[in-house]
Structure 1
Amino acid sequence: MKTKTLLIVTIAGMLILFACKQEQKEIAEVVKEEAKEEKVDLLNDEFPEAKEEVLKTMEAIVQSVFDGDMNKLIAFHAYSPKFTEFNGGEPRVGSMENEKFEREVFGSVTEVVKFDAKDLKVAVYGEVANVTFHSDFHLKFGKDLVVVNDQITLLFLKTDTGWKIVHEHHSPLKKESA
C-alpha cells in the first residue's frame, strides 16, 4: 500500500510540475507576443501627440520673442554640459555662451517685424525631436532692420517640464540666383 501511495504522489507531483512548466511556457509566449505588438519604430513612427507638443513649444518660443521675455525664451533650453550650438560657421559653443548670445541679441530687439519659419519640419524620435526650418526673421534694433535668413536646426529633448532645446545649429541660407 505504501508503494502505491508513493507512486500516486510521485505521478501527481510530476503532473503538477509538468502543468506548471506548460503554464510558464504559455505565459512566456504571451509576453513575447505582447512585446512584438508594442515595439516602437523610432525611425518611422510619427508620434503625432509629441509632434503637436513640439509645435506648441515652437509657438511659445516665438511668442516669447514677440513679448521680449528673455527669461521665458531661456527657459526653453535645457542647459547642461551636453548643450551645444553652431552658429554661422563659428566654433561650437555651450550653454553659457548660448544664453549670453540669446539674451544680448533678442533682448536688444525693439520690434519684431516678421518672424517666419519656412519649410518647417518636425521629426520626433520618441523622447527626442528634430525641428528644421528656414528663418525669415525681420528684427528691428532701434532704427536698424536686420533680416535673418538661416537654415536652423533645433534639437529638443522631452523632459519632466516639457520639450527643451539641447542643440541649436544656424547657418546662412544660400541666396537664390536671380
Structure 2
Amino acid sequence: MKAKISILRKLLLVILFLNVQFLLAQTLKNDISQKEYPWAQEEVKQTMKAIVQSVKEGNVEKLIAFHAYGPKFTEFKMGEKRVGSEENEAHERKIFGSVTEIVKFDVNDLKVAIFYDKVANVTFHSNFHLKFGDDSVIVNDQISLLFVKDNTGNWKIVHEHHSPLKNKAINH
C-alpha cells in the first residue's frame, strides 16, 4: 500500500512538473516582449515610408495627419522639458513648412517593435540634410516614435523622443 502511495505521489509530482513547464512555455510564447507581429511591423514600416515621403514632398498637412494629437501626446527633444500636442504641431509646421530643399533624408538602423499588434515602438538614427534658404542644417539624432493603431486601422504617433547622436555612430 505504501509503495502504491509513493508511486502515486511521484506520478502527481511529474504531472505537476509537466503542467508548470507547459504553463511557463505558454507564458513565454504569449510574452509581449517576445512575440513578433510581422504583418504589423510591415504596416508600420509602410507608415514610416509615407511619413518620409510627406516630408520630401513638403506636404506638412499629411505629416501632421500621422500624429494622434490629444491629451496623451508627448514629446521630448534635446533635453528640453516635455511638450504636448500644440507645441509639437507648431514645431512641425514651423520647421517642415520652412524647408526649401531636402538634400538627404535618411532613416538609418530602423527597428520596429510591435506590442499586442496595436502599439509600435520605432527607433532609428536620422541623417537629415535640410536647407532653409541659404542655410543648411544637418540633423543626426537618435529618434524614438511611439505609434498606436487607431480605430480606423491607421498607425499614429503618440510620442516622439529626439536626442543627439554621437558622430562616430552616424551612418552616412
What percentage of aligned pairs have identical amino acids? 68
Whether 1:67 aligns to 2:53 is no
Counterpart amino acid of 1:146? V
Q: How many residue pairs are counted as aligned between the two chains? A: 142
Q: Which structure 2 residues correspond to residues 13-162 of structure 1 after superposition, within 5 A?
A: 40-126=30-116, 127-161=118-152, 162=154
**CA offsets, 1:74-124, max 9 Å, x none?**
000001111000011110000000000000000000111111111110000
TM-score norm. by structure 1 comes to 0.76
Rounded to whole Å, the distance in 2 between the matches of 1:112 and 1:47 is: 33
Rounded to whole Å, the distance in 2 between the matches of 1:151 and 1:110 is: 24
Rounded to whole Å, the distance in 1 between the matches of 2:155 and 2:68 is: 9
Query: What is the root-mean-square deviation of aligned Cα atoms in Å?
Result: 1.8
Structure 1 counterpart of 2:162: 170
Counterpart amino acid of 2:144? T
Please state whether the residue corresponding to 1:103 is helix, strand or coil: helix
Question: Any runs of at least 4 consecutive aligned residues in structure 1 with deviations exceeding 6 A, and if so which?
Answer: none
Tell which structure's C-alpha radius of gyration is larger: 1
Please state whether the residue corresponding to 1:90 is helix, strand or coil: coil
Q: Shift in Å at residue 45 of structure 1?
A: 1.1
Runs of 5+ in structure 2 lacking a partner? 1-25
Runs of 5+ in structure 1 lacking a partner? 1-35
